[in-house]
Amino acid sequence: MLQISQFLATFCSTIFAGAAIYINIAEHPARMLADTAAAVTQWAPSYRRATFMQAPLALISFISGIGAWLLGANEWWLIASLLIGAVVPFTFIAIMPTNQRLLASGRDLTSAETRGLLERWGKLHAVRSALSLTASVLFLWQAHA
């Protein structure tokens, strides 16, 4: 059971990190090359779809990592679990207000404010990438220790 928990924690965290980093390195910068209206129009469905993939991955990794720690894995499994788990409250507390402003009906999709919100979103999302990458490195390090 310990090995299954460790595998799930590591697998889900690394898939999450890969997707998050892809968004920050490729998708969002490419989106930002377009005019603001096009960028925010593309961002909205992309964000919604990514949520259905990333939220379960973060939660499964967090729960599996905590499970591994409870089953006898060392404290690094707990630390990595807390890091990947932190993306969920970070999303709700730090990113969700920006998301809600971007998705607000009646928003001027061509405004400098909308552009600024998209830029802010990219920076906030980079925190999720960093948290998940750090968790993944710790999980992988411990899996091979």
List pLDDT tens digits, range 8-47.
999 999 999 999 999 999 999 999 999 999 999 999 999 9
Which residues, in sequence order, are CB contacts of 136 under 8 Å at separation 6+? 10, 13, 14, 16, 17, 80, 84
Question: pLDDT tens across 108-144, in order?
Answer: 999 999 999 999 999 999 999 999 999 999 999 999 9
SS3 content of the chain, % helix, strand, coil (to 5): 85, 0, 15
Q: Are 12 and 64 in contact (CB under 8 A)?
A: yes
**Phi/psi zone of residue 90: left (φ > 0), alpha (ψ -120 to 50 degrees), beta?**
alpha
- Domain segments of the chain as ranges: 2-143
pTM exceeding 0.85: yes
Residue 105 has pLDDT above 90, yes or no: yes
At 38-82, the pLDDT tens digits run 999 999 999 999 999 999 999 999 999 999 999 999 999 999 999
d(CA 29, CA 70): 40
Alpha-carbon distance of 7 to 94, in angstroms, equals: 29
User: What pLDDT was estimated at residue 31?
Assistant: 97
pLDDT at 145: 82
Whole-angstrom CA distances from 15 to 57, 71, 99, 108 are: 7, 23, 23, 35
| Closest to 91 measured CA to CA, from 8, 23, 4 | 23
